Amino acid sequence: MINFEFYNPTRIIFGKDAILKLGRELSRYGNKVLVITGGGSAKRSGLLDHALRILKENNKQVWILDGIKPNPRLDSVYEGIKMCKTRQVELILAIGGGSVIDAAKAIAVGAATQHDIWDFYLRKLSVTKALPLGCMLTLAATGTEMNGNSVVTKWETREKNFISGSALFPKFSILDPTYTLTVPRDQTANGCVDMMVHVFEQYFSHTTDTPLQDRLCEGLMKTIIENALILAADPQDYTVRANILWCGTMALNELVGMGKKQDWATHIIEHELSAEYDIAHGAGLAILSPNWMAYVYKENKALFRQFAERVWDIQGNGKSEEEIILEGIRKTREFFVSIGAPATLEDAGIDESKISLMAARAVRFGPVGSMKKLGKEDVETILRNALV
Ligand code: NZQ
Ligand code: ZN
């Protein structure tokens, strides 16, 4: 295991009617609040209006920035920063999925600096401060509700970049599974794939002697698989929604990967797909991650065998190590497809025309991944293998 520091200051308020604790949280911050939300789902479910009523009861002065798009855009971030600065906003409240929360994080950083927010995403500057942020999450997927990351797209140049930092952790996140009951089948599947791949990025590693981290990851993966399969058949089951919501948070609140060298190549490559084609992040991951596995497993066969045996319960029965590993990869792909995620670039309507361009962009900050360091040609091969 390698040395690590674990810090996670986000207060999680989880369960039915968790929103009733919003007033208590609001009392800890100033009076001027910017509410940030997406394209309408929080309005339709009644969550936005409920939150606005509570803000009013607590005598808050409120402004709303709505219309944050999936794969959130830099333009909306600039708009939010301007609102915060002209109104001297003291708290940002994000109501929605990962895109809304990531945009809110960018706005929180941008409002606390004189620098151009995009310079942080270009890695020219490090994040040191941000306005306080509270979240009300409506989609189980990214883990952004309890981590220090934000991903934003500059649409004109198709650059999808991320920032990380302690200042980016939300102060509190309200997670009521009830508000995820309306998530449609495809977004539910995309979210389950995303959390599963977050675990892959931390689990598949050259760091050895991490039995607790391995078992935590395997427990998460098995729980995601079991619950995602039930949800695909019955999206209205509150208990299953609750379990999957907590899995999403645990998969990327930075706990299960502590002490391990992590990979993240699949995510970096996927960000090029969703930046170029505006597809859902989880859909891109479902296409790429089995192809990434097939490309890198020879770097650590023992771990890929452990994954096949412990997560997919594949029995040896005279099979070679190679056969066991490949069966594990095949089961991963079949699982994604069975819950409604795409398997190939063709399924997502993507052809080979921009593969070379996307591969070049994926390595613009240098080679990606740590299981196997991937340069442009490697990325290009993985993308080509994902075509059909
Ligand atoms: O905009 P609205 O109307 O809210 O609709 C959204 C959106 O169309 C809808 N939705 C959300 N909650 C709903 C709902 N529809 C019905 N009922 C509800 N309760 O779902 C659609 C997708 O929402 P979005 O927020 O884009 O999805 P997700 O949470 O998967 O976020 C994806 C973004 O997060 C980034 C991705 O790259 C992508 O930009 N990621 C952020 C990470 C982080 N900050 O740690 C890590 C991830 O790996 C990821 O990269
Ligand atoms: Zn992800």
Q: Which two tokens stand for residue 4?
A: 């690590």
Ligand 1 atom closest to Cα of residue 153? 39
pTM of the model: 0.98
Ligand 1 pocket residue status of 96, Cβ below 6 Å: yes
Sheet containing 32-37: give its strands across. Answer: 11-14, 172-175, 133-137, 91-96, 32-37, 61-65
Q: What is the pLDDT of residue 202?
A: 98
Domains of the chain: 11-179 (3.40.50.1970), 184-385 (1.20.1090.10)
Residue nearest to atom 36 of ligand 1 (CA): 281
Rounded Cα gap, residues 73 and 314, in angstroms: 43
Chain segment 244-275, per-residue pLDDT in tens: 999 999 999 999 999 999 999 999 999 999 99
Rounded Cα gap, residues 224 and 248, in angstroms: 8
Give, as residue ranges, everything with CB less than 5 Å from ion ligand 2.
194
91 C-alpha vs ligand 1 centroid, how far in Å?
A: 21
Ligand 1 pocket residue status of 98, Cβ below 6 Å: yes
Q: Residue holding tokens 């989609």?
A: 139
Q: What is the pLDDT of residue 49?
A: 98
Point out the residues of the chain with pLDDT beneath 50.
Answer: none
301 C-alpha vs ligand 2 centroid, how far in Å?
A: 24
Rounded Cα gap, residues 56 and 314, in angstroms: 55
**Which ligand sits closest to the CA of 281?**
1
User: Given ligand 1 and candidates 151, 192, 196, 200, which is best to mutate, with the most ligand atoms within 8 Å of its CB?
Assistant: 151
Q: Are 131 and 90 in contact (CB under 8 A)?
A: yes
Q: What is the pLDDT of residue 138?
A: 98
Chain segment 54-105, per-residue pLDDT in tens: 999 999 999 999 999 999 999 999 999 999 999 999 999 999 999 999 999 9
